[in-house]
Amino acid sequence: MKKVVLSLALIVAMVACAPKKDANQLLTEQAAAEYLVPVHPGNSERPFWNGFSKKFIYAPAFDFKSVEGAVNYRFTATAEDGQSWNFEAKCPQQSLAPIWNNIPQGTNVTLCVEGLNAAGEVVATVGERKFWRDYAFNPPYNGAVRSYREAAIMGMLHVHKMPEIQHWLNSTEPDMNYNHNTYPCKIIGATIQIEVLLAKTVPSYHDAAIAIAKNAAQFLMDQARKPGDKLAYFPPTYYKDKAASKFAWNLGRTMAMEAASAGEAYLDLYDVTGEKIYLEQAIGIANTYCNIQNKDGSWYIKYDFASGEPVNDVKAMLHPLLRYFLRLEKNYGQSQYAEARLRGEKWMHDHILTSFDMTGQFEDVNVMGLAPYQNLTNCTAAPYASYLINRGATEQELAIAYELTRFSEDQFVYWDCPVNADGVKRDSCPCVFEQYKYQMPVDNSTCNVAHAMLDIYDQCGDELMKAKAKALVDNITVVQCVNTGKLLTTWRLRYNYKPTFWANCAYDSMLMLLRMESYCDNK
């Protein structure tokens, strides 16, 4: 056979003529490669966190135990249609990376792991797991349908023009026709923040917006515990027992981390008015947190609102409070909170980051009796990743933040979903589910994960993280009501499903949209 030698000029010409990969294809390939690396896999030194997990984007590894007589382990993943994929490994806790990209996305999988002896015979079935092999990041997605700034302003104006919000112009009591006003710190605090944001963004609304914010703040101050009380300056989590009556375990009680939401609102109002009463209220709340901090650096999740005594021994996830302390330190010179913050960080590191139990703590989900990892959420993991980066992360902490963000994507982001029998997708994707106990796409969760991804991009220049964040944020504009500007909280597309609207979640979307504006010009 005659030997063929290609000249350098011919090779260059062939490369030049070869089809070039566009940016989206390169991002898809990068994502596929990264999905082969399992998220925070357990080992002899750290526990497995995914015992309750129902779906995975990243190749998972499971807590299957070694069996006597086995020298190898056969992993067999079987789809509903009978197609299967297998490989062998020395360890039963090997990740599914060897076959992960072979399993079709959007597939229900049954995994069986068997122990094999030296002759290749099965000595025991080690374990089984069923899960959803979820869709990978695969751009392009729907782009933003309007500029981020316009979408944010439309959202602000929708809230501002709600009759229940206009009610605050002449009242220091909430209009309970907006039933979420039953959560004062969360919803009325967000009302203050939205109105302050509107006053700063659209000057023609300044005076009315600040008047609303002041009256709403007055309500929170009127409802707060008085100086001298154990929970001094804390507004209540619940108002008029509307929410508490639905969940009896909340009667007369308050969620510890909720007061930080009111404190953030006071600081926002102080920033635009300069009126010291709001800074004093914010400092009063912070002082109370210091007074009730446990010796180990933690806080309890729930207290009796009148007596200030904890009602159970469950500890709170601390990211809202640590972020609040850090803001007081950095922006207002209140360095007295550094010690409490550092003690809280240590508790989070020793108990939450070490165990990787990113438990959800919501006012309408009972935390009593939960097994470890039973109700994981992005609402703990992604905000804590952002907290670590924004307060100045060490190299080790940056790695933790990256892992928390990967976990949030793996367990809660849905880049796509299958169509139902009618040919309609259930959810507006890409989206982010809130928690195991509430399998629902929520805009606040989208913001949590997108913020963490952008924080990593800012720190490391990871273009894939930026692209993922943009895809998530763009969908906020797609789901937004085009005729009212309403920023929907839940993104389910099921027939006759009525989307919910929470003002605090809408506020998070507004901030996320304004942040995204600085990265991408989609005007």
Q: What is the pLDDT of residues 329-357, one digit of tens each?
A: 999 999 999 999 999 999 999 999 999 99
* Residue-level pLDDT at 424: 87
Asked if 102 and 133 touch (Cβ cutoff 8 Å), the reply is: no
* Residue-level pLDDT at 499: 87
Bridge-partner residues for 483, per DSSP? none
Q: What is the mean pLDDT of residues 410-416?
A: 98
**Residues whose CB is less than 8 angstroms from the CB of residue 400 and which lie 6 or more positions away in sequence, other chains included:** 353, 385, 388, 393
* DSSP percent split of the chain into helix, strand, coil, nearest 5: 45, 15, 40
Residue 7 pLDDT > 70: no
Which has the closest alpha carbon to 365: 436, 262, 272?
436
Asked if 130 and 481 touch (Cβ cutoff 8 Å), the reply is: no
Residue 244 pLDDT > 70: no
* Residue-level pLDDT at 6: 46
Q: What is the mean pLDDT of residues 255-281?
A: 98
Q: Which tokens hold the place of 448? A: 């949590």
Q: What is the mean pLDDT of residues 68-95?
A: 97
* Residue-level pLDDT at 498: 84
Question: Cα(447)–Cα(451) distance, rounded to whole angstroms?
Answer: 6
Question: Cα(138)–Cα(105) distance, rounded to whole angstroms?
Answer: 11
Over the chain, what is the mean pLDDT?
93
Which has the closest alpha carbon to 46: 35, 67, 61?
61
Tell me the percentage of the chain whose pLDDT exceeds 70.
93
Q: Is 353 exposed, middle or buried (0-12, 13-18, 19+ CB in 10 A)?
A: buried
Q: Is 76 exposed, middle or buried (0-12, 13-18, 19+ CB in 10 A)?
A: middle
Between 249 and 517, whose confidence is greater?
A: 517
Give the other-Cβ count within 10 Å of 379's Cβ: 26
Q: What's at 264, amino acid-wise? A: E
DSSP 322-350: HHHHHHHHHHH--GGGHHHHHHHHHHIII
* Residue-level pLDDT at 45: 87
Banded model confidence at residue 365, pLDDT cuts 50, 70, 90: low
* Residue-level pLDDT at 364: 65
Domains and CATH numbers, the chain: 23-133 (2.60.40), 148-517 (1.50.10.10)
Residue 141 pLDDT > 60: yes
* Residue-level pLDDT at 403: 98
* Residue-level pLDDT at 3: 42
Alpha carbon of 481 to those of 102, 155, 433, 476, 492: distances in Å?
39, 9, 20, 10, 14
Give the other-Cβ count within 10 Å of 299's Cβ: 20
Angle between helices 463-479 and 23-34 (to 10 degrees): 110
Question: Cα(126)–Cα(276) distance, rounded to whole angstroms?
Answer: 64
- 189-213 b/e (C-beta count within 10 Å ≥ 16 → b): bbbbbbbbbbbebeeebbebbbebb
Q: Per-residue pLDDT tens for 430-450?
A: 999 999 999 999 999 999 999
